[in-house]
Amino acid sequence: QRQQQQQQQGVPEADMTEDETPNNLVGLKMIILHPICILLISVPLGLASSYLSWGPAWTFWLNFIALMPLAKILGDATEELAASIGNDAITGLLNASFGNAVELIVAIQSLRAGLLSVVKCSLLGSVLSNILLVLGTAFLLGGLTPGKVGQRRFCSFNDSGSFTDRYVGLEKEQKFPVKGALVSMAMLLFSCMSFALPTIFNARPTDDFEAVLTVSRIGAWIVMSSYLAFLVFQLFTHRKTLTKEENALGVVSWGLASMPIHTSEGEDDCEENSSEEAASLTRWFAFGLMALTTIVVSVNSEFMVDAIESVVKECGIPQNFIGIILLPVAGNACEHASAIRFAMQDRPGLAIGIAVGSSTQVALLIVPVSVVVGWFLDQPMNLDFGCLHTAVVTLSILVVLTLLLDGRANWLKGYILICLYVFISVLYWWVPTDEISDRGWEL
C-alpha cells in the first residue's frame, strides 16, 4: 500500500522502503509532492506583498491562498506524529489539539487586532462549512457515484441495471453508523445552547454587557470541560459501545479520528483502508515540521488579518462574508477533499467523522479557547454571537440532525445541505457589517 502511495506521489522506486523505520526524506516527499502544495509559492509572496506595498488586496488574497497548503502540511504532520506514537488515546488528543490549528491561529491573530466579529464569524463559518458544504457535497457525490463491488456493504441498490453500475448510482443509498454521529450532533446542539443563552441575556433592554462577559468566560470553561468529557467518553469509557455498530459495517467513525476496522469477511476489500500503517516520519521530525508550519501559519495569518479591514473598504466584500464563507475555506480545504473522496469510495462513515467531528471540535474547543484567550489579551470576546448567527447555526444543526437519524445517505440529502449553504452565503453577502458597540455584538 505504501509503495502505491509513493508511486502516486512520484517518489522514485529507489527511495521506496519496506523497512519499518521511518525515512524522513521519503515521508517529506509524500507530503510535499501533492498538487495543493504548488500554492506554497504564495507563502513568500504573501509576506513580500506587504513590504513591497502591493496593496491590501494582494496581501489578503496571497496570504489567504498560502493557508491552504500550510493547513494540509500541518494536518499531515499531526497524523504522522500520532502514527509514530501509536497510542489511540494520544492520537485522539493530538487530533483534538491540532485538528483545527489554523482556525485557532487565525482567531488569535484576529483577537490581537481587535476584530472580534471576524473571530466569531470565522468560527461559526467553520462549523457551517463542515456540516453543510462538506457533508452535503460528500452525500451528493457519494450518492451519484457507482459503488464498487468490494464496497457494496456500505451501500444498497434498488436497481441492478447496467447504467447504474457503469455511470451513476441510481437508486443508491449509502449506509453509515448512527451512534457516533448522533453523539457528535448532540454535542453540537449543546454548543448552540452556550451561544444562545448569552445572546438572549445580552438582548435585554438593560445594559448587561459586563455580566454577559463574565458569564461567557465562566461558560467557556464549562464548555471546554464538556469537550474533555466527550474525549473520555469516546476514547475510554464507551469505546466498545460506540464501535459495535461500526464493526458491523466494517468501519469505525469517531468524532476525533476515523479508522477502518477489519472484519473476517471482505478483509481483502478493506486492505486499502487500513489505519495500522507505519509512520512515514520519525517522531521528532514530525514534531519539528508541526512547529515550523505553525510558525509560518501564524505569520501569514497575521498579514492576512491586518489586511481585512482595508479589503472590506476597497473591494466591497462584506466582513461577514469574509469571516463565515471565505476564511473557513482556507483552513478546511484538505479536510473537504478527504471527506468527499471517502464518500465517493462508499465510506460515508469516514466522511461524517471528518465533517461532523471537525465541527464539534470547533464549537466545543476552539470557541471557548478563543473566549479565554481574549480574556488574557484584554479583549471583550464573549459567547454572544448575535441573534441572526445563533439562529443560522442552530437551524443548520437541526437540519443535519434530521438527515442523519436514519443512518442512510443519498444525493438528495446532499443537495439539500448544499442549497442551505448557498442560501446562507447569499444572506451574509447582504447582511450589514457588524460593529462593536458598548453593548457588544448586536447583530
What would the grid cell of residue 324 be?
A: 463565515
Residue 108's identity, in one-letter code, is I
Distance CA(120)–CA(111), nearest Å, equals: 10
Q: What residues have CB less than 8 Å from 102, skipping those under 6 apart?
A: 67, 70, 71, 74, 297, 301, 330, 331
Each residue of 5-32: b (16+ CB within 10 Å) or e? ebeeeebeeeeeeeeeebbbebbbbbbe
pLDDT in tens, the chain (443 residues): 445 455 545 555 444 444 467 788 888 888 888 888 898 899 999 989 888 888 888 998 998 898 888 888 887 887 787 777 765 556 655 665 666 778 888 889 889 888 888 899 889 998 999 999 989 998 998 888 876 544 455 555 555 454 445 555 567 788 888 888 888 899 999 999 999 999 998 887 777 788 999 999 999 999 999 999 998 888 788 877 777 766 665 544 444 444 433 333 333 333 344 444 567 888 888 888 888 888 888 888 888 888 888 888 888 888 888 888 888 887 777 677 778 878 887 888 878 888 888 889 899 999 999 999 999 999 999 999 988 999 999 999 999 999 999 888 889 999 999 999 999 999 998 887 654 333 344 44
Distance CA(99)–CA(92), nearest Å, equals: 10
Phi, psi (degrees; rounded to nearest 5) at 326: -80, -55
Predicted model pTM: 0.77
Q: What residues have CB less than 8 Å from 297, skipping those under 6 apart?
A: 67, 70, 71, 74, 101, 102, 105
Residue 50 C-alpha from the chain's centroid: 29
DSSP string covering 94-116, please?
A: HHHHHTTHHHHHHHHHHHHTT-H
Q: State whether residue 377 is helix, strand or coil.
A: coil
